[in-house]
Chain A
Amino acid sequence: MLQIAGLDVRYGPIRALRGVSIEVGRGEFVGIVGPNGAGKSTLLLSIVGMVRPQSGRIEHDGTALMGRPPEEIVRRGIALVPEGREIFGELTVEENLRLGTTIRKDRRAAEADVERMMKEFPILGERRRGQAGKLSGGEQQQLAIARAMLGDPKLLLLDEPSLGLAPLITKQVYQVLKRLNEAGVTILVVEQNPKRIMKAATRLYVLRNGQLAFSGPPEALERAEDLDRAYFGFNEKARPLP
């Protein structure tokens, strides 16, 4: 569904990504983990066209995405829930949800979906006329996911959905993602903390200093030292890339 090969991204002198290649198949639940500054956000932003890579290739169902504006990329059924959620704090919860349907052509169905979403996330329904900025962090995260879902994406990208959330809320968020995945949405999640994602994902990449340090099933990193090795690079004999 998504193929990325040899991606290079620079911010001035900073090389945020160096030759990163990843692949996401239809219906998969893929996780990317890595420490601060590894380039995780940069990778997701490159996919949706918010960051312009120097070189490499990004393909979605065989179509090259690079160089296209974000408006066009999201219309292909790719949605990003960005780091820090970025809900529109001064708009109401309902307006935020409506914005999620911007790319929908089936206006009537989209309106119905907004209502359905407010049932699925009851807190959003309760606060529909309230300012979105007044929601708690966990509620905002739900809003951000719900908003992304309303565009009917086939591929959902999430940047650190558990950031700043209590463990219990994180668990709920992952339950939602699991459900979506079971309903056929392909999911690519970026996390700093590998704990949660190792349970949820079917496949895992570790990104470090802008380069891939590991790729494979999460079980391969179950032993703590394997994880440390991939994550921090303690042992250079870490598992070779496939």
Chain B
Amino acid sequence: MTAFLQVLADAASQGSLYALSALGIGLIFGIMRLVNFAHGEFIMIGAYMLMLSAAPYVPLAILATLAAVILLALLTERIAFRPVRRANPTTLLVTSFAVSFFLQYLFVLIEGARPKGFDFLSSLAEPFVIGEVRVPKLNIVTIGITLVLLAALAFFLKRTHFGIQMRAAALNFRMARLLGVKANRIIAVAFAMSGVLAAVVSVLYVAARGELSPVMGLQLALVGFVSTVIGGMGSLLGAVVGGFLVGALTVALQASLPLELRPFREAFVFAIVIVVLLARPRGLFRGREARERV
């Protein structure tokens, strides 16, 4: 029982990070059918920003990170993605692939390819003990922040006029524009929001790992894709659930696979992606679209 609770707690915090990454990718995909490979680099650059600004005062560093990543997201949208906005999803994907490489090697150029250690909020690593279960404080913070962000996002999308515009644009961009929804603004806001999500992941990830490198984003971006595919591309709720599921799956495989198979964990996860693509192309949780009546 204790072991199970322990695994559950680990899965929840791992899943939180994955869910946030997936959400950042899912948000942009929903609005403009762009699978944003560069989301991982948003996270990576956030981590470097945090390291560069961390010295004096932590809250300020976090704010600077948020601002920098939002700006970065807006810039990439303006410079690279807006000109190809009308292209097909594959071209968009290739573009984001190139942007991802650009940002990654920009940081190889500036900061070097080697991973750097960075001690950030290491006091949060102390465990919080409930009965027999030991949960690092950081994990609780991670889960808490994730829940707050998810609630805020849900409120924004459901209750504010701009949120409704955004959902409408995701469903039918042409019609939304005919009602006066401003395409550029909607997309810019979506990118800014994905920037916020990325920056939060930067902070939590660095605090957990104490290390950063130019290639660190790749792993998180991959997990983000996997989660959005499993949850159903274009569904935000699906992305979140997918993220938690992949987190749980990773932790569960880690705990249950025989030692010699553990390194192959990721291969299993990606095999599941292929199976989902083939068997449930709309994701695990969405049934067939309720047919619209004519």
List residues of chain A with CB under 8 Å of any chain B CB.
Answer: 48, 50, 69-71, 74-75, 79-80, 82, 86, 88-91, 95, 98-103, 131, 133-137, 140, 147, 151, 164
Contacts and interface: CB of A to CB of B under 8 A. Distances in A.
A151 B168 contact: no
Contacts, number: 73
Interface string B161-174: 10011011001101
B183 A98 contact: no
Interface of B, secondary structure class, is: helix
Interface stretch (B5-13, B193-201, B286-294): B286-294
**Chain B interface residue bracket vs A:** 20 to 34
B16 to A, nearest CB: 27
A69 B177 contact: yes
Contacts of A101: 161
Interface in B166-208: 167-168, 171-172, 174-183
Contacts of A86: 172, 174-175, 178
A69 B176 CA distance: 13
A103 B171 contact: no
16 contacts: A48-B178, A69-B183, A71-B177, A71-B182, A74-B178, A82-B178, A88-B168, A88-B175, A91-B167, A91-B171, A99-B164, A99-B179, A102-B181, A133-B293, A151-B180, A164-B294
A135 B292 CA distance: 9
A135 B181 CA distance: 24
A86 B171 CA distance: 10
B123 to A, nearest CB: 45
A49 B124 CA distance: 55
Given A88-B172, A91-B164, A99-B164, A50 B178 contact: yes
A224 B182 CA distance: 46
Contacts of A70: 177-178
A207 B23 CA distance: 48
